[in-house]
Structure 1
């Protein structure tokens, strides 16, 4: 296929993610390809529009990954053909000089915005992500958060969009090594260099795509951020770079391919649930669409898609795609935080997009372009100088985030000492004695500390995460105790642990506890994200084996499950209780607490506190559903809802203590104040 665009020298361009060596053409020599700049513009507009107004993912980032593989592979291959080797130092330092300055500026501005606009309860997690973004492993940080049940409902961080840049950064480290290996093999075996690269890239593509399909089916939340599951998208671009110059298509067909590819790309986010289906084979939709546009090239036809893609305003926007991508997300997150909205209004969205464009232009003009002019003299464009510039910009970001985190940790330790005065923080004690006079003291745990306010049970690893199937058993109290109580279930059982532990210690009982995120203690087959939750099934089997061997006197577990869609008793709960009855084990069914219509810590921090109230009826039925079913003879029911949500309402603060740290889990501090009520209820339920 021939292009009517004349050859031109390299032009510095960046993409989302950025590409350092310019938009090169298909052949060995290369040339400027304005339609790729236009394709970048379309992709970044899709990303921004879907994020800002629709709260969805568009597939635009997948296009950028494909283009990165296309452009970087072409650059590396031409470099080897020209010089006989990969110039690693020059390649990596050129990338560092061009990518890091914009990243440093955006991260610095984002930290300032976080300090001014976002609640303190989110600072610690965001600072961790800032460091991950600066060091190009944000995708792995998000992968772990995506499978952490206790973190899944957290508000999005203003730097989470760095996941795609992190994958690119890892690609930039790997790909020169792959091309260099191909060069070595080709030289030693006397094989054609491009053919050798093609074989290796095809192998990477096939292995990565196979892995992506497999891991997406098993754990889509993890796969979305997994470099291995995304590498095939970059390899697809690499394959295109290696074969595109051999593809010669009629102009009419190229015109069709251009428009078809563009239409497929634009429609992807509207027709597919990208965030829940990608990467896997479904991501072939946007990446193949972009491949078709590249294959169409510059047709020279008045009816070609390239007429649109080479339109100057669009190509200029394409040149801003990298900084625009960097800026749009933190601007959006700050807007949503300030306005309290989940999506931007039409006018507000225009403001977000306009502000992001202005910031992108300023970054391009004074950070990217400005530093390039500053480093233009040859003596200053050495690798050492490039690394020096990058270090001078990124090290302060890392240092500031570390110092800030240290300050947060020290403040948290100081606040923890205040809880040593129980008369100031009675918590659930005021429910038992409403005449209690409360001291005028700050709420504890402080909202900023709430996510870390977890019990010993969690700290010792007895509560395992979504991805773990390991059974970790905590065993406290006398080994020869007269009574043994087992606390078993999901996270909304585990959050009672401080109260149960205190009651067991007071009575001299042995307490055995083990729990798992998102895993109901039920004979029903567990599902997550539409597929069988294998880790839960394995964990339940191990838990049942442990109980069969232990034969405790009683098991304390959930009797109902309350959601904003209602409260019910799962059939699998009854099945598990019947199984325990066969073992001669009593069951204490503890009613599930209501779910809130607000996020506990964040609501308190944003204030006023008296607005942080949710009716019990929002998720609990008027009558406990467990009292309306036929229970096995070994089951006794307990309900401590009124100790957490007195008078039919769940308030964020009771007795100067923060009750809920999110919308469904109570803080360990408040759970500790429930000890007297828990002990009384357990004694009444068991008769011990």
Structure 2
């Protein structure tokens, strides 16, 4: 996002007649205003990409490159310290005001389960690497069930911050090469930026096709947009267009930009080729306004209209505020998309906050430091705002960590936090103390995922990822195979493998069923899953475990999507039968129409609001019971009675948070399921070696009647 205050002094570009005579481009301010409005409108009412951020990247490259190259031509050098200090002074204060407010808003308005993520997001945004922070998080399966961060839009500032570090160094190097070769600085800069454009654009096409989510945040996939703006700044003086052609270019570009969010489908990989639409639209508008005789009815004259240029002066702060205001509005109202009136309220609040921030930063900070022009003062003025945000986030994180440690200490008492074991003793259930849930809602998702991260293939992976647990020298091997709904039994099986001396081999993949049938993911062929299944079977043929533990049914939500046994399950079990491998097919677990940790944060652990109807995702009885021609090696296990009772599935069981999102068991609750799973699993695997005493027998004092 281009900061208008930062670039106001550089809103001059060469006219076609001379490279040294420059005029102020008020239409650039208007273009900023249109881009900011499009971003806000499409985010608020449509939840779509508008192309506005791409326009700001082009404008940033256009304005900054022109300014830096002129400095090189004039002085033979770029004053790096002054340049970066000025950036810190202009960018950090406004961003810090928003980030600090987000921390306060998160504490007051967001559920506890989101606090840790918000703190991490704010810290990354404050240090201008928010795009990489989001990119790393986006490839995590956990992110698929995560709510939008109130500072998610800061990713573009991260891209620009990295651009501001790189660009003056790159142009300085071009200037040194030009001096050594006796060439013009502008020529060397054009050649340098052309190479950056070509390399980045090619990389963008490749990474967008292969890793589209990552590509969206990748600085390398976005540099070509900034380089395009830079090339335009360096070559615009050579463009010769008639007044009529410039008028047509201006209206074509402005119309294309406004329609971008409607034309560019959400299903198109982005940035890639699709991002050419808004970037070229911006180029047309900039080129159209380069002439001295801008037509009275031209798009550029419209963009130079005083109200639009005034709004363009506040575009940066409007961009900063619109997204957190929207996120907090949706949280407070409990809606997924604002109504027309609600959206206008979000837009109005964003405008008010933007004006207030501009007044505080430009009116206050600038006035107080007007006489302090040294780079060190500019740097200090910017850092002064950021440090309290970073320290506030660190302090809040420490408070959360101390609370987590307290819950962990409390959870060491199995009578206080029995989890699924509460079903084994009426006395335990009746005497259950009123305690905060464990695991802590702020970290349950990450802690659960971390315990199996190294053993799990992600959506785009085709190769097998495996790891082992239990007794590595054990004579009896069980393989845990399947999707994430197989994976969330890991802690239970790990507990049982340790107890009985089994070797546990884990091979799971997100959203991929262990099946012979071709599978789909989000409506498209899931070729990565099909390839992964082939690798798993090859591994099982070599490994020859005594048993495979996998899911026997699949729960889904909606009346037209009942719980069922997916195609290819039984055929896969037959293949294992031919290998002499037993199969334990466990019934799938329930799904919730809400995020369980967030519900617990809002309503309390014992609230009926945090229970879901069993019929929401599960059949009355397991569909596996009606299967015919099931191979002899397959045994079915149904743990539903410990997850749901009287048609309701609670989100908290035995003081333990049972799920870390809408449908995956938490690590602690999965481990507690070992107690109730053990007898059924041993019945299903009569040849499996057993410990001298079961888990229940070893903890008999916990379950004995008073």
How would you bin the TM-score normalised by the shorter chain? over 0.9
1:74-112 CA distances to partner (integer Å, 9 max, x unpaired)?
A: 111111111112221121111111111111111111111
2:539 maps to 546
User: Is the 1:581–1:634 contact (alpha carbons within 8 Å) kept by the matching residues of 2?
Assistant: yes
Instruction: Give the structure 2 partner of residue 615 of structure 1.
Output: 613
Normalising by structure 2, we get a TM-score of 0.90
Q: Which residue of 61, 68, 74 corresponds with 1:76?
A: 68
Distance (whole Å) between structure 1 residues aligned to residue 68 and residue 7 of structure 2: 12
Stretches of structure 2 lacking an aligned partner (at least 5 in a row): 688-706
Indicate which of 99, 105, 122 corresponds to 1:107: 99
Q: Say yes or no: does 1:90 pair with 2:89.
A: no
Match of 2:317 in 1: 323
Structure 2 vs 1, CA of residues 543 and 108 (structure 1 numbering), >3 Å: closer, same or farther? same
510-519 vs 360-369, greater mean Cα deviation: 510-519
Which residue of structure 1 lines up, in the alignment, with residue 347 of structure 2?
353
Does structure 2 retain, via aligned residues, the 8 Å contact 1:17–1:68? no
| Counterpart for residue 180 of structure 2 | 188
- Which deviates more from structure 2 when the two are superposed, residues 449-458 or residues 417-426? 449-458
- 2:404 aligns to what? 412
Alpha-carbon separation, structure 2, partners of 1:58 and 1:584:
57
| Alignment counterpart, residue 153 of structure 2, candidates 136, 147, 161 | 161
Q: 1:580, CA displacement in angstroms?
A: 2.4
Superposed CA RMSD in Å reads: 2.4
Query: Comparing 135-144 with 505-514, which one deviates more in the overlay?
Result: 505-514
Q: Against the structure 1 CA distance between its residues 352 and 673, is the aligned structure 2 distance closer, same or farther, given a 3 Å change threshold?
A: same
Residue 581 and residue 457 in structure 1: after superposition, are their counterparts in 2 closer, same or farther (change >3 A)? Answer: farther
- Of 26, 31, 42, 2:14 maps to 26
Q: Give the SS at the match of 1:562.
A: coil
| Deviation string, structure 1 residues 103-123 (Cα, Å, up to 9, x no partner) | 111111111111111111111
> Secondary structure of the residue that 2:142 maps to in structure 1?
coil
- Taking structure 1 as reference, are residues 80 and 280 closer, same or farther at Cα in structure 2, changes over 3 Å only? same
Superposition pairs for residues 471-482 of structure 1, below 5 Å? 471-477=465-471, 479-481=473-475
Identify which of 587, 609, 628 aligns with 1:591. 587
Q: Which among 32, 35, 39 is matched to residue 27 of structure 2?
A: 35
Please report how far the alpha carbon of residue 56 of structure 1 lies from its aligned counterpart in structure 2 after TM superposition.
2.0
Aligned 1:203-218 pairs, distance under 5 A: 203-218=195-210
**Equivalent-residue separation in structure 1 for 2:5 and 2:633 (angstroms):** 60
User: In structure 1, what is the equivalent of residue 695 of structure 2?
Assistant: none
Note the C-alpha offset of 1:24: 1.8
Change (3 A) 1:147 1:485: same
State how far apart, in whole Å, the 2-side matches of 1:246 and 1:478 are. 72
Question: Within the alignment, does 1:310 sit opposite 2:304 as a pair?
Answer: yes
C-alpha distance 90-528 of structure 1, shift in aligned 2 (>3 A): farther
- Matched residues in 2 for 1:81 and 1:546: separation? 64
TM-superposed deviation, 1:523: 4.1
* Equivalent residue, structure 2, for 1:463: 456
TM-score, reference length from structure 1: 0.92
Within 2, Cα distance between the matches of 1:535 and 1:387? 49
> Which residue in the other structure is 1:496 paired with?
489
Residue 540 (structure 1) shift? 4.5
Write the deviation string for residues 634-660 of structure 1: whole angstroms up to 9, x where unpaired. Answer: 332222223212232221122222211
Q: CA deviation at 1:457?
A: 4.3
**Equivalent residues of 1:110, 1:330 under 8 A apart:** yes
- CA deviation profile, 1:571-627 (whole Å, cap 9, x unmatched): 343454343233221222222212210100001111152112222222234453444
Change (3 A) 1:523 1:141: farther
1:276 & 1:16 partners in 2: Cα distance?
31
1:686 to partner: Cα distance: 2.3
Instruction: For residues 25-76 of structure 1, give each alpha carbon's deviation from its aligned partner in whole angstroms, at most 9, with x where no partner exists.
Output: 2343432111111111111001111111222221111111111111111111
- Asked if residue 301 in structure 1 is aligned to residue 289 in structure 2, the reply is no
1:395 — aligned with what? 387
Asked if 1:375 corresponds to 2:362, the answer is no
2:638 maps to 639
Q: Structure 1 residues 194 and 139 mapped into 2: Cα distance closer, same or farther (>3 Å)?
A: same
Equivalent residue, structure 1, for 2:121 = 129
Which of 599, 603, 620 pairs up with 2:599?
A: 603
Matches within 5 A, 1:526-545: 540-545=533-538
Structure 1 stretches lacking a partner, 5+ long: 1-12
Helix, strand or coil at the partner of 1:428? helix
1:368/1:316 CA distance change after superposition, 3 Å: same
After TM superposition, give the deviation of residue 127 of structure 1 in Å: 0.6
Instruction: State the aligned residue count.
Output: 672
Q: Note if 1:231 corresponds to 2:226.
A: no
